[in-house]
A = this chain, B = another copy of it.
C-alpha cells in the first residue's frame, strides 16, 4: 500500500486553500477558481476535484469546516498543518513536466500540401484563437491596487506576454508568406 498517492489536482486544491485569510472553500468554489486562473495551463474537472477532496480529507490534509455557511447545503474545507507540509514538499520538488497538445499548430506544421492562401488561413485561424484567449486573460486581470496575491498575478502577466508573442509571430509569418507569394 504505502501512503496515498495524490494527483496534481490535489495540490491545486491545497494551493487554493493555503493562503492566509482565505475562507473555507467547497469543491464548487475551487472549480470556479480553477476556471478563471490555472485553467489556461492546468485544468481540473469536477470528476477530479470531488474524489480528490475526499482523499485529502481521509488523509487529514484538509478538514471539513463545521461552521456551515448559511442554509444552503455545501461542504467547505480548510487546510490542516499536515496539508501545508505536504503542499510545501510538493512545491519544493524540482521536477516539472510540461505537456502540450496544440492542434492548430499541428495543422500549420502539416499544411505543406495546401495552397499558399490556405496555409495563411491556418495561421490566421491560430492567430484569432490566441487573440480570443488573450482577451479572456485581460478580462481576468485586476487593477494593480486590487492584487492580493503576487504569484498568480505574475503568472497572468506571463500568459499575457506569451499569447502576445504568438499573435505577433502569426502576424509576422503571415506577412512573410504573403510577400513570398
Contacts and interface: CB of A to CB of B under 8 A. Distances in A.
Give the interface residue-count category, chain A.
35 or more
A126 interface: yes
A125 interface: yes
Contacts of A118: 91-92
A126 B110 CA distance: 30
A94 B126 CA distance: 9
A18 to B, nearest CB: 5
Q: Most chain-B Cβ atoms within 10 A of its Cβ — which of A11, A88, A158?
A: A158
A169 interface: yes
Interface of A: 8, 11-12, 15, 18-19, 37-38, 40-43, 84, 87-88, 90-114, 118-119, 122, 125-126, 129, 149-152, 154-155, 157-158, 161-162, 165-166, 169, 173
